[in-house]
Amino acid sequence: MSLTHIEYGFEWHEHRHNIYAELHSRPFKIISSDAHISHVALLTNEKEKKQQRQHLLSLLKQLDIDVERIEGSCQVYQGKDFIIRYENHLEFSTLTITDTAINTSASEPFAKTALHRLPQRWFADFPGKTIAAFHMQVNFNKVTSFPKPQKLKPVFDHKLMVGSLPQHGAAQVWTSFHTHDDNFGRFLIFNHHMSKGQMGRMVQRIIEIETYRLMAMLGFMEARALTPELASMDHALADITDQLANGSASHDDDLLKALTDLAATIEAIRAKTTFRFNASLAYHGVMIARINELKEDEVCGHLTIKEFLTRRLTPAVNSCSNAQDRLENLSKRVNRASDMLRTRVELSIQSQNQQLLSSLERRSRLQLALQHTVEGLSVAAISYYTVGLIKYLTDAIYNAGFAINKPMIMGITVPVIIGSVWFMTKRVHKKIRTLAHTRNL
């Protein structure tokens, strides 16, 4: 029995096969002959990616390339003498066309490009906004000596050229990192002693370097546009803090509203830009990794790809980090100012409560004094009416024929009644105070 058919009873993780497949989802190119390559990267959303796949499927049918459906993050379709490679990324997709049948002169290597394989204006119906677009000519046939830079200047419209000797001189790469009349960038590659696999990997790295370079710059554009607003918010917060330190408490409501509005603005900007800035940092990291994999040497005193991009791009990407740090710093300062304002408001409220309690205490003392006065009057009034009732009772007994001494009875009754009423009043008040004290505890 074959080992591949033995059942061991393993419980496999549901994502195990996907994890294995992911390592092979974006295979390197294999370039074994001279080739013209056109590469386009487009910013897309999920809806546009679905539309792209449908549009690409119709193109493949039109080009008689047999395919049932388009799936996976990377699809490679082979024509007679050209290859179409379509890739999906998080926020963009790429289309790379490699043509091995084009013949152009050394003086005009980009007179014809791989895009001629597509119908005219085919990209007009291809959803997405183009961010990267460039052509490459790969001279795979090995040369004994590389061309002189002066002869290549017309190809790049006499603009500043960037040269590289990848893999320590195994090939030569030229570009200007500029767009030309067709709005495409250009790369020229000459082979010295690279194999077809090495050439394919190097070309793939250069494609990724240029794509990720442009994607990383999207964050810089937002950071630069955000700079005036950050400065304005910084001044506004400084003004609020100054008023908080030196102003009167009568403006606390206005300060609180200003702080709330500023905090809302900062959080809205952070929500809008966090992904873009983090993505730029990630793209920059990938780009630097791909550059390091080239293992460049210098060409005749020209800037290498690493020197040029590190000098120009790294400060731009750092602007994204600076903008993030400024937003974070503003947010923290707003929180501190809010805490100070909240503390001042709480102290003001405590002072008002203390004044209110003092006023209530004075009022309670007045009420207590009034209560004592009323208590005396109440004892006198109750005693008066009680003595009057007893007088009516003694009169009735005397008129009934009983021999009693009315003045003596009234004389004894008055102090007894007054004392009893006073005692009962104090007892009731004591019970009320005891009950109130118990409830407060």
- Cβ–Cβ under 8 Å, residues 312 and 185: no
**Is pLDDT above 50 for 1?**
no
Q: For position 441, what pLDDT does the model report?
A: 54
Are residues 185 and 327 located together in one domain of the fold?
Answer: no
Distance set, CA 330 to CA 133, 237, 245, 273, 279 (Å) = 38, 8, 18, 15, 22
Are residues 222 and 200 located together in one domain of the fold?
Answer: no
Q: Taking residues 188-216, what's their average pLDDT?
A: 95
- The model's pTM: 0.76
Chain Cα centroid distance, residue 251: 33
Q: What are phi and psi of 100, to 5 degrees?
A: -105, 10
pLDDT tens figures, 5-53:
567 778 888 888 888 877 777 777 889 899 999 999 999 999 999 999 9
pLDDT tens figures, 256-286:
888 889 999 999 999 999 999 999 999 999 9
Listed in order, strand segments (DSSP E) in 387-439 are: none
Domain that holds residue 306: 216-354
Q: Taking residues 317-346, what's their average pLDDT?
A: 88
Domain count, the chain: 3
Asked whether residue 306 is domain-assigned, the answer is: yes
**Is pLDDT above 60 for 2?**
no
Asked whether residue 68 is domain-assigned, the answer is: yes
Residue where a domain terminates, one of 168, 186, 208 = 208
pLDDT tens figures, 96-138:
999 999 988 988 999 999 999 899 889 999 999 999 999 999 9
| 4 or 408: which leads in pLDDT | 408
Asked whether residue 192 is domain-assigned, the answer is: yes
**CA gyration radius, the chain:** 46
pLDDT confidence bin for 375, thresholds 50/70/90:
low
Distance set, CA 19 to CA 22, 27, 75 (Å) = 5, 15, 18
Are residues 241 and 145 located together in one domain of the fold?
Answer: no
Q: Taking residues 395-409, what's their average pLDDT?
A: 79
Are residues 80 and 189 located together in one domain of the fold?
Answer: yes
Return the DSSP state at 298: -
- Cβ–Cβ under 8 Å, residues 36 and 136: yes
Asked whether residue 315 is domain-assigned, the answer is: yes
pLDDT tens figures, 285-302:
999 999 999 999 999 889
Are residues 92 and 179 located together in one domain of the fold?
Answer: yes
Report which of 103, 122, 101 is spatially closest to residue 40, judged by C-alpha positions.
122
Which helix or strand (DSSP H or E) is residue 276 part of?
helix 252-294
Residue where a domain terminates, one of 180, 208, 236 = 208
- Cβ–Cβ under 8 Å, residues 206 and 293: no
Are residues 203 and 133 located together in one domain of the fold?
Answer: yes
Tokens of residue 293, six digits = 């994999």
Asked whether residue 260 is domain-assigned, the answer is: yes
Asked whether residue 328 is domain-assigned, the answer is: yes
Are residues 262 and 202 located together in one domain of the fold?
Answer: no
Are residues 177 and 245 located together in one domain of the fold?
Answer: no
Q: For position 231, what pLDDT does the model report?
A: 93
Are residues 190 and 230 located together in one domain of the fold?
Answer: no
Are residues 220 and 182 located together in one domain of the fold?
Answer: no
Asked whether residue 362 is domain-assigned, the answer is: no
pLDDT confidence bin for 429, thresholds 50/70/90:
confident
pLDDT confidence bin for 415, thresholds 50/70/90:
confident
Are residues 250 and 323 located together in one domain of the fold?
Answer: yes
Q: For position 401, what pLDDT does the model report?
A: 76
Are residues 345 and 386 located together in one domain of the fold?
Answer: no
**Is pLDDT above 90 for 191?**
yes
